Structure 1
Amino acid sequence: MKKIILLAAILLITSCSKDEKTKNYSSKVKITKSIENIAKKTGPLVKLKYKFAKGKKFSYKMKTFSKKTEIITADSTIKNNIKQEADYKLNLKVLNITEHGFAEIEVRINSITASTNLNGQTIRYDSKMLYSTREKIQFADYEAVKKTPFKIKVDTKGQVVEVTNVNRIIKNIMNIQKIPDTLSAKTKEQMRATIANGTLMPLIQQMFKVIEDKKVGVDSSWQLKYNSPLAVYTAENVALYKVDSVSIKKDTLVYVDSKLVVNLFGNDVVNQNGATYTFTKPIVNANGNFIFDNSKGLVKKTESVTEMEMTMQVEGFDKNNQKITNRKTDITKSKNIVELL
């Protein structure tokens, strides 16, 4: 899982401002989802259901850990070790229930504390602190979202189907980075999509796990299929869920194990701006578990671990028309814990 990284949006501004005709390979991939029931159930049966009601308020705390090894090979080899930790507190309020049962929810990230260790040097962030202009640029990814509300729409099965009202976040990024408001409508729309779908949606989805719409018991299983962009590839994702146990006491709790299977499709080689980019298909492993509190109609706790390795080689020419080759390998392991408060 992932920490908030809005710097991706900042990079998008820079690249689009320089050349808006540059092809954006990942933005053309349409995300599609489907849910399938694939196994029978045993033991006591429970009908899982999210219990949203207009005006309902609830909060989550989220803790993320990540460790990344970055190996860059050019004239010499550089190895960077990056460790990151972050804690978030998020407040949510149901604004409306649509005629189809979808919940429209306001989300506010009320507090963030984080630390980044790069090769032994640690930088810390606390959203309660007041920072200088230079420091705000350094912490732009956090400063842009703290206490800035946005909206999500969640369906009856727990899928976050839409993230909206991110204009204030975009404005915060531009103000922090001192970017003049002269961007084209196309660039702003790309930025909006990056923040909403690429950054906030995966973050928020951790609090709303997809549940089966039929009664479940021990060994019940279902799966969620969806496509998403990953580097230059289209990732065909299959999230597998299986009920481990059911506790029917004061609250009805359902314990679910999960696993993600990823199949990648697309070209390994991309030619752009006179350079050739050759990718090695990423290796992705992800698994986790969550507890669904059926009495409250919310996810009580979730843990997930993701490991990914990806290599990219870039070939081009320097100012003297001499061929140069750079290679970069990223090895990342992350863990996320989310708890209902």
Structure 2
Amino acid sequence: MKKYFLIALLFLAVFISACGDKKTEQPENAQLDSTMYVYDSTEIKAQPIEDSSVFQLAYNFSKGEKIRYRLSTISDNVQTLTTDTSITMKLHQEVVYVFDFIPKEIDQDGVVEADINILGVKLSANVNGEKFEFEAGKSQDSAQIVRFAEFLALWNNPFSIRFNKAGEVLEVFRADKIANKFFNLRNADTVDTQTKNMVKDDMVSSVLKPLVLQVIRKMPEKTLAKDSTWSIPQPSIPVMVFQLSFTNKYKIKQLEKLGDSRLAVIEAGMDYNVTGNNRVEERGVVYNFKKPVSSGEGTIYFNIDKGRIQKSKTKSFTETSFTFDATTPQGKQKGSRKETVSNISILETL
């Protein structure tokens, strides 16, 4: 399964030798107050209301307005490889982004072009007991700048998006600046164009677009009311030897009042289907794959009157495993591998 760009780079950084402890001049950007990184995982405290009227979940922004968000992602990954002995790798990672969302242009069809500027980012990670900390704006030595270049490249380096009223993200662009800054921080300016484009595309698909999709989620283009349901099929994805097809399912569970605004409390879930052969033989090794187990759930608060997501908290979980049986000159060898991945994403309007 494809790993997130940031996690992959973090693991790579663990094995990079330090380049020295000399302090390096920092960008002239203000460090956020530490309280800005304290996320709230609780439900919105709003007043339930009885409202039988119909409405649409359409995005509605004003040109030039500035909305500040905090996105917190909490990830756990456990991998266990068992042969004659057992090896376990455990990763716990928390990343908090604070960013401004600024609509720049809105055309007659309601298509919005907006800038996103990440004002602050903080990482806390624990890899098998080894801890890592990073906060944008804090003094870093040269080795830390290289190690955490992917985060520094995002910091105060705006990128742009285009999306329509229904929340379909049409384009994520201006990511080349972020990729260029990443290579500059890692003293790798001579990297060829093809590599730069590959890294840029990976940043978009693995970092920038997932962030955007927490703020701009696709909504149904129809009138809704309390208890309305809908579903959105997702493209199938490869997981080991299988293809997983997901369908996101939604229901308006409740309407609530927050100040002068109505909130649609959306209950999110998912169904999935697994296809593929679970037995593979390659070079004398027989692999037996167990079908992946996956789940997803959460709550999304959509502000009906302001036309935007007020808050959301979503969870996902995936478990994969397989056994292998090989004939070697030393005799029969058997083993197994198991991996569990869980993610929690919390979006808050500040």
TM-score normalised to structure 1 length:
0.77
Aligned to 1:7: 9
Aligned-residue CA RMSD (Å): 3.5
Alignment pair present for 1:251 and 2:261: yes
Aligned counterparts of 1:278 and 1:199: Cα–Cα separation in 2 = 32
Aligned counterparts of 1:297 and 1:87: Cα–Cα separation in 2 = 24
Aligned to 2:219: 211
Query: What is the CA-CA distance between 1:226 and the residue it aligns to?
Result: 2.0
Aligned to 2:208: 200
Deviation string, structure 1 residues 272-314 (Cα, Å, up to 9, x no partner): 9999987544321110011111221110010011111123678
Aligned to 2:312: 302
Match of 1:60 among 27, 44, 69: 69
Query: What is the CA-CA distance between 1:44 and the residue it aligns to?
Result: 2.4
Aligned counterparts of 2:294 and 2:234: Cα–Cα separation in 1 = 15
In the TM superposition, 1:75-114 aligns within 5 A as 76-114=85-123
Deviation string, structure 1 residues 246-285 (Cα, Å, up to 9, x no partner): 2357211111101122324456688999999875443211
**Runs of 5+ unmatched residues, structure 1:** 12-41
Aligned counterparts of 1:310 and 1:254: Cα–Cα separation in 2 = 35
Aligned counterparts of 2:118 and 2:295: Cα–Cα separation in 1 = 28
Q: For 1:136, give the aligned amino acid.
A: I
Query: What is the CA-CA distance between 1:175 and the residue it aligns to?
Result: 2.7
8 Å CA contact 1:6–1:195 kept in 2: the answer is no
Q: Secondary structure at the match of 2:93?
A: strand
**Runs of 5+ unmatched residues, structure 2:** 14-50
Aligned to 2:237: 229
Change in 2 beyond 3 A, CA 1:243/1:181: same
Match of 2:141 among 126, 129, 132: 132
Change in 2 beyond 3 A, CA 1:241/1:190: same
The percent identity for this pair of structures is 23
Aligned counterparts of 1:297 and 1:144: Cα–Cα separation in 2 = 31
Q: For 1:116, give the aligned amino acid.
A: A
8 Å CA contact 1:243–1:255 kept in 2: the answer is yes
Q: Secondary structure at the match of 1:123?
A: strand
8 Å CA contact 2:5–2:206 kept in 1: the answer is no
Aligned to 1:284: 294
After TM superposition, the structure 1 stretch with the greater mean CA deviation from structure 2, 43-52 or 109-118, is 43-52
Query: What is the CA-CA distance between 1:180 and the residue it aligns to?
Result: 5.0
Aligned counterparts of 1:180 and 1:271: Cα–Cα separation in 2 = 43
Query: What is the CA-CA distance between 1:127 and the residue it aligns to?
Result: 0.8
Aligned counterparts of 2:190 and 2:287: Cα–Cα separation in 1 = 32
Q: For 1:194, give the aligned amino acid.
A: D
Aligned to 1:143: 152
8 Å CA contact 2:180–2:196 kept in 1: the answer is no
Aligned counterparts of 2:93 and 2:105: Cα–Cα separation in 1 = 36
Q: For 1:223, give the aligned amino acid.
A: S
Aligned counterparts of 1:315 and 1:214: Cα–Cα separation in 2 = 53
Q: Which has the higher strand share?
A: 1
TM-score normalised to structure 2 length:
0.75
Deviation string, structure 1 residues 83-123 (Cα, Å, up to 9, x no partner): 22222101111121234322111111110122112233322
Query: What is the CA-CA distance between 1:193 and the residue it aligns to?
Result: 2.5
Q: For 1:289, give the aligned amino acid.
A: T
Q: For 1:247, give the aligned amino acid.
A: E
